[in-house]
Amino acid sequence: MSVLEIHNLHVSAGDQPILKGVDLTVRSGETHAIMGPNGSGKSTLAYSIAGHPKYTVTQGSVLLDGHDVLAMTVDERARAGLFLAMQYPVEVPGVSVSNFLRSAVTAVRGEAPKLRTWVKEVNGAMTSLEMDRAFAERNVNEGFSGGEKKRHEILQLELLKPKIAVLDETDSGLDVDALRVVSAGVNRVRETGIGTLLITHYTRILRYIEPDFVHVFYDGRIVESGGKQLADQLEEEGYARFTGVQETAKA
């Protein structure tokens, strides 16, 4: 049983405060959906957990199994069991997908996987994600479509087997077929018992990945929490009651 504990987290980008006291606990086997309007701080939460240098933690704590995440370097956080699937995966020219994946898994597991079992493991995961095996020899994300990049993120998730996965708008830019495949990949990993923090604007991915908890994010903090029914309510009503913005009545 692993647990990610976020207490009173305040984060700034330069002189601009973004997170203003976030409290959240994610345990093994739980899926938490974070929803909210643009600019509410959802992605800042994801990147702060991962250790992005753009963001400065000014107050609060992040613990993974009692260990201080904020005292760790980015690679130490990954080895400790944290995983971030980025909204906009970056290209890495000159580094093949196969080399990238094997290097990452070696760093996390502490030893290089045996080649024969490794090839079988990668091919199996790629087949499940409906990825052409030729992608393994292409440079990381270079020339990939949006859907291909997201499948590659979930391929990493399946192979690295983290304790806690933070998925930042994994559904953005996906068509219906890609959303189905990517969601199935996330669900396969969820079945292993990891904790999942799923950040999204829309409820469509929640039709495939059912959350245990839904949290509404606004102005840098969680303003309401509930179950799956809260996501359904947001789909119908939007965020007006949190933002104070009322829809203009239609004639």
State the distance between the two ends of the chain, measured CA to CA, in whole angstroms.
55
pLDDT at residue 10 is higher than 70: yes
Give the C-alpha separation, 195 to 57, whole Å.
23
Structure tokens, 87: 């909204």
More confident residue, 21 or 240: 21
- Looking at residue 173, its amino acid is G
- Looking at residue 111, its amino acid is E
pLDDT at residue 220 is higher than 80: yes
Smallest CA-to-CA distance from 188 within 158, 162, 220 is with 158
pLDDT at residue 247 is higher than 90: no
Instruction: Compute φ and ψ for 85, nearest 5 degrees.
Output: -95, 115
* The predicted structure's pLDDT at residue 240: 86
pLDDT confidence bin for 245, thresholds 50/70/90: low
* The predicted structure's pLDDT at residue 249: 37
Report the pLDDT averaged over residues 30-47.
Answer: 93
Q: How far is CA 214 from CA 40, 217, 231, in A?
A: 15, 10, 7
pLDDT at residue 148 is higher than 70: yes
Structure tokens, 238: 């939007």
Report the pLDDT averaged over residues 205-234.
Answer: 94
pTM (2 d.p.): 0.90
Dihedral sign (CA 203, 166, 228, 158):
positive
Question: Average pLDDT, whole number, for the chain?
Answer: 91
pLDDT confidence bin for 210, thresholds 50/70/90: very high
Smallest CA-to-CA distance from 77 within 92, 57, 97, 95 is with 57
pLDDT at residue 115 is higher than 90: no
